[in-house]
Structure 1
Amino acid sequence: MKFSFSKTFLLGFGFFGVSVIWMVYNAFVPLFLANRFHIEPWLIGLFMTFDNIAALFIQPPVGAWSDRLRTPIGRRMPFILIGAPIGAIAFGFIPLAAVLPLFVACTSTLLLSMAFWRTPVVALMPDITPSAYRSQANGIINFMGGVGAIIATLGGGALYKLNPAYPFWMGSILVIVATLLLFLFIREPREYEITSSERPALFRSLKEVVKDPDKSAFRILLAIFFWFVAYNAIEAFFTLYAQNHLGLPGGDGARLLGQLSLIFVLFALPAGYIGGSWGRRRTIITGILLLSACMLLMFLLPAPTLLIQVTRLPVLGVVPIIGVILMIAGASWALINVNSLPMVVDMTDNLRVGTYTGLYYLFSTLAAIVGPNINGWIIQLTGKDYNRVMLVGPIFMFIALLMMIGVRRGEVQGD
């Protein structure tokens, strides 16, 4: 198995589609809930976890299922070809729902279909990539995901001002295009055949991880949980933070997220190469420290200071102090996110890559459920002070740091 830059780049279109959908969803669904349906903050936090609750029960077992599946088009592709089109159609109907039950029906269909294909499309990366190049390959894939995030936030922010439905329709079209490119140009390897009586199973693998005396796999999974609690909790409320704490319109809040996403994109490739050469564990720890500092600055600095203009850049427009902080946060998140999945899958063999990818999503999805609920209640109990979301993140990042210090495996394996 050889590393192919072009094949990995094409594979990134799958992650591109996932990223577009969720960035638009996270940026604008809270605004619909607050402004159209007048939902209280703690209920918005609960609503924003519904997709993650479904994903918790679907994504991990689907990953193990895809390890066992054998079809003429591969073990991952059937999930992608079924889940992506259904998700794209449901996504396009979300902004058209004028009553809450219909809105919930559209979002429920979306979350079920997205959960069905996300783990298989991510598991394709280690399927076609040698261990020595998985950080770099994940950097390329996250680069593509970051491009999707920029389109979703910057383009979506502008489209939202024209018509709130336009960002969703843009996302639906892009997902369909990405799926077609993935199907036409990616061929799965054929050598993964089950030769033993033991078939990949999610909960058996989780039990092995917990009982392993080394504890490295369990520690990094716990670290993933805690840093996603920090990051997802903030992301779910950022547009409302911008609207209520900074006094910005919803579209401008999404534009600020786009500044984070831009640097994430630009730093995704370097983050992969840094992790491959400097060490994945050391790179992740550096990202944790930097991202914690960024969150603390957004909490401590007053809103007028955060909005002071620093410069003006093409595409991004005005860049305030908070924009600079978010850019540093984007680079920090790249150091963490690009190198974490390669560490997890390099703690197992190729037969169970989908299963361990499922474990990765089990812990990150649990975090995505816990994080918004914690922040929703904090906002509710502090008189709707949206700035408090920036205080919770560093606490959980510190716990993630303690977990990562004890990780001893997950670096490049010999191929």
Structure 2
Amino acid sequence: MSSLAAPAERRLTRRITFFVALAVFAQEATWDFYDAQVPPLLREHIASTAIVGLLMGMDNLLGIFVQPWIAHRSDNTRTRWGRRIPYLAVGMPLAALLFTLIPLTTALPALIAVIFVYSLVGNSFKPIAQALLPDFIEPERRGRANAVVKIASGLTVVVSAVISAVLVDDHPKLAFTVPALLMLVCTAVLVSRVRDNTSRGYRLALTEDTDDEPPQRLRELARDILRDRDRSRLLVVTAVLLFASAWFSSRSLFTPYGMETLGLSRGAAGSLTFPSGIAFLVAAYPAALLAERIGRIRTMTIGMTVFGTSLALGTLVPTPAVTVVSFCVAAAGASGFLINAAVVLWNLAPSARVIGVYTGLYTVSWAAGGFVGPGIVGAMVDITGWRYMLLDIAVVTALATAVILRVAVLSRRRSVSL
């Protein structure tokens, strides 16, 4: 790369990173608020917590089917706007409109119908914005860009909490319009400033289109991963699912752990995870820089080891102060995995024509882990008791670490740097 091209490349990287982070921020702001405020709406009609939980898990279940399909569709879309932007230009405003309708429904069937359609539309563009990163950005710079996107996603928890505190009690319907307006504004900025028909990935896809090979079907892409003798791609997807199981378990089961083991009230137990959220945001960008120096697989391995070890040590002294420190160190370690896992999958993609599918693979395996993980760890807790929940999560983390170590062995055999 010439001395003149390098600054231009860095400017493009910063520009695309900003716009993708903006889009992901808008999407996640609505999802965080959805997770926080839709359960109380359902509770007005449904007494069973199990049914409420089932309805709230509907978006994850839909995502498992919708996201790979729509990502594959976007990979094979060719327009003067590119292959990603058309889906975002239509999907995000439609999702914003549906989001504002959620608190306006008064009957349970209408409420369920609206949240179903919102979940369907919201999942239809969830992996597409993030797929813009590998479309535009060179492999060696993707980690930094993904770190910025993860930071933007993490900040939405704060935004959702502020909206809930300021508006929900007095203006519950108005509160839903704020995340929707954020999405509309961010969509307008993204669509007016980005055309991915100029991206490196889109141009490579057009070049590959001229080879007279028809696009692979989604089923064929899945079969290629399953039958590949190298197994690296399948192992990375498996590691994402396992680590997601550990991560979501540490979040969703923490409040009852704090009540049962630490002797805290419900509110006090729920608030203990806030410092660890800050620790994750602080560690995200350094995790990307570390990966550029020592490799992504090694950084992921170190991060998972820190995550599991910290939780295991937290089991030894079950006090609130030690638990907070344990979770802060664990969250910082988790950033090593969370920032780099998607980048590894992007870099393992065999063609620029399937980047969207590989982004969908990451988001689906992450969502699947979030769906099954708390149940698996919950079953372990039934056997070991709440006192050893953090150790149970560490065991699941150890399985994910073992899978990634296998990927490291395979990459060394092929002399491939991941």
Please classify the TM superposition score into its range, dividing by the shorter chain length.
0.7 to 0.9
Alpha-carbon distance between aligned partners in 2 of 1:169 and 1:329, rounded to the nearest angstrom: 35
- CA distance in structure 2 between the partners assigned to 1:350 and 1:31 by the alignment: 43
**Matched residues, number:** 393
Compute the displacement of 1:289 (Å): 1.9
Q: Alignment partner for residue 18 of structure 1, among 9, 13, 27?
A: 27
Alignment of 1:115 onto 2:116:
no
Match of 1:9 in 2: 18
Identity %: 24
Question: Which residue, 220, 229, 232 being the options, matches 1:204?
Answer: 220
Q: Equivalents in 2 of 1:174, 1:147: separation in Å?
A: 14
Mark the runs of 5 or more structure 1 residues left unpaired by the alignment.
309-320
Is the 1:48–1:236 contact (alpha carbons within 8 Å) kept by the matching residues of 2? no
Please say if 1:270 is aligned against 2:286. Answer: yes
Partners of 2:74 and 2:54 in 1: CA distance: 30
The one-letter code matched in structure 2 to 1:345 is W
Q: Could you report, residue by residue, the CA deviation over 1:261-314 in whole angstroms, capped at 9, with x for unpaired residues? A: 333222222111111222111111122122224444666655xx31x5xxxxxx
Counterpart-to-counterpart distance in 2, 1:87 and 1:410? 41
3-state SS of paired residue (2:82): coil
2:128 is paired with a residue of what secondary structure?
helix
Which residue of 358, 361, 366 maps to 1:364? 366
CA apart distance, 1:90: 2.7
Contact kept, 8 Å, 1:92 with 1:172, in 2: the verdict is yes
Alignment of 1:193-272 (within 5 A): 193=206, 194-196=209-211, 197-237=213-253, 246-249=264-267, 253=270, 256-272=272-288
What residue number does 1:171 align with? 179
- Matched residue SS, 1:406: helix
Judge conservation of contact 2:62–2:119 (CA < 8 Å) in 1: yes
Select the structure of larger CA radius of gyration.
2
Q: Which amino acid aligns with 1:230?
A: A
Offset, 1:101: 3.2
Whether the 8 Å CA contact 1:24–1:167 is kept in 2: the answer is no
Structure 2: distance between partners of 1:199 and 1:73: 20
Hey, what's the Cα distance between the residues in 2 that align with 1:378 and 1:101? 36
Shift of 1:44: 4.7
**What is the TM-score normalised by the length of structure 2?**
0.81
Amino acid at match of 1:187: R
AA in 2 matched with 1:339:
N
- Greater share of helix: 2
Picking from 270, 279, 296, the partner of 2:295 is: 279
Separation in 2 of the partners of 1:152 and 1:14?
A: 16
Q: For 1:246, give the aligned amino acid.
A: L
Partner residue in 2 for 1:315: none
- TM-score (norm. length: structure 1): 0.82
Which residue, 57, 73, 78 being the options, matches 1:70? 78
Judge conservation of contact 2:300–2:340 (CA < 8 Å) in 1: yes
Q: Which has the higher contact order (CA 8 A, sep 6+)?
A: 1
Counterpart residue number, 2:143: 135
Provide the C-alpha distance between the structure 2 equivalents of 1:154 and 1:322, rounded to a whole number of angstroms.
25
Q: Give the aligned partner of residue 39 of structure 1.
A: 48
Does 1:327 pair with 2:328? yes
Report the Cα distance in structure 1 between the residues aligned to 2:359 and 2:195, rounded to whole angstroms: 19
Counterpart CA distance in 2 for 1:216 and 1:120 is 23
SS of the aligned residue for 1:346 comes to: helix
Give the C-alpha shift of residue 99 in structure 1.
Answer: 5.0
- Once the two structures are TM-superposed, the CA of residue 43 in structure 1 deviates from its matched residue by 4.1
Q: Is the 8 A contact 1:139 1:272 kept in 2?
A: yes
